[in-house]
Amino acid sequence: MIKVLTIAGSDSCGGAGIQADLKTFSALGTYGMSVITAVTAQNTRGVFNVRELDQEIIRDQISAIFEDIQVDAVKIGMVSSAAIIETIGESLLKNKAQNIVVDPVMVSKSGCALLQPEAREALIRVLLPLAEVVTPNLFEAEVITETKIATLDEMEKAAVAINKLGAKNVVVKGGHLKGDAIDVLYSEKAFRHFGSGRVATPHTHGTGCTFSSAIAASLAKGCPVEEAVARAKEYIGGAIAHSFPLGRGVGPTHHFYQYYRDTNR
């Protein structure tokens, strides 16, 4: 059994965060485990409260898993504060975690801050050097690089800058571009674009979480980075094409439990 761990926040309405990650891991035929960093009171319309867990229980969750189970890949999502980032970094280094995918979650689709602004520095210093793959969206890439990004050329430049900050492979996601949804991968000093038509739907709650978890699941299976990103792009395209209204706001992606059975990958 392939085993994948998510370290992220809980989304009470199940569209993003830990819940989206575990659904993605299952849909891709892997066994999912979770370390919860924060609990959000959230629905399709907004985030109404956030409670961070303390560093001790975050550290103990990570230790409990690594001292007993071999982890094939780790996805990191909402990390909330600098203190939590330091704890996660120390614990993953100590346990020699492999295949780490960092989704530098900063703001929810509904506009609520999920990373304290002062934690930006810790995210760059601690988490980027641990990342086999980092998956910023346009806004997150702008915050990390302190540049404006609106074109594919600017996405490529940002990807190189983020690689220089320590992340081995960088995917700047184009979900918020105008026109097609094109993601830019910078890997081994080369660019590759992963494009798809834009699905005309307002229901994109959890797209970033789903995409980064799908990359982690494929890395866990031993896929090279480029192939892992290609498969994740295929999976998220289908998950968005079948996203659906839930509640009165931004609905979630759909996870295909037949995907793994049908494709066996």
Ligand X SMILES: Nc1ncnc2c1ncn2[C@@H]1O[C@H](COP(=O)(O)OP(=O)(O)O)[C@@H](O)[C@H]1O
Q: How far is it, in rounded angstroms, from Cα 30 to Cα 139?
A: 30
Q: Which stretch binds ligand MP5 (CB under 6 A): 87-95, 179-187, 201-209, 237-245?
A: 201-209
Let me know: does 30 contact 219? Beta carbons within 8 Å.
no
- Determine the Cα–Cα distance for residues 97 and 74; give it in Å rounded to an integer: 7
Nearer to ligand MP5, 16 or 27 (CB): 16
Which partner, ligand X, ligand MP5, none, binds residue 198 by CB below 5 to 8 Å per kind? Answer: ligand X
Find which of ligand X, ligand MP5, none residue 174 binds, CB within 5 to 8 Å per kind.
ligand X
Residue choice 120, 157, 203, 205 for contact with ligand MP5 (CB under 6 A): 205
Determine if 240 is a binding residue for ligand X (CB under 6 A). Answer: yes
- Considering CB distances under 5 to 8 angstroms, the limit depending on partner class, which of ligand MP5, ligand X, none binds residue 89? none
CB atoms within 10 A of CB 67: 8
Nearest distance in Å: CB 239, ligand X: 8
* Structure-token match 């600017």, residue found: 154
Q: How far apart are CA 109 and CA 66, in angstroms?
A: 32
User: Is the Cβ–Cβ distance between 182 and 192 less than 8 Å?
Assistant: no
**Cα–Cα separations (whole angstroms), residue 121 to 83, 102, 104:** 11, 15, 12
Residues marked active site are found at 173, 204, 206-209
Binding ligand MP5 (rule: CB under 6 A), the pick from 32, 136, 174, 208 is: 208
Q: Which does 233 bind (CB under 5 to 8 A by kind): ligand MP5, ligand X, none?
A: ligand X
Q: Can you tell me the distance from the alpha carbon of 32 to that of 3, in angstroms, rounded to the nearest whole number?
A: 6
From residue 155 to residue 194, what is the string marking binding to ligand X with x (rule CB under 6 A)? ------------------xxxx----x-x-----------
Amino acid found at 156: E
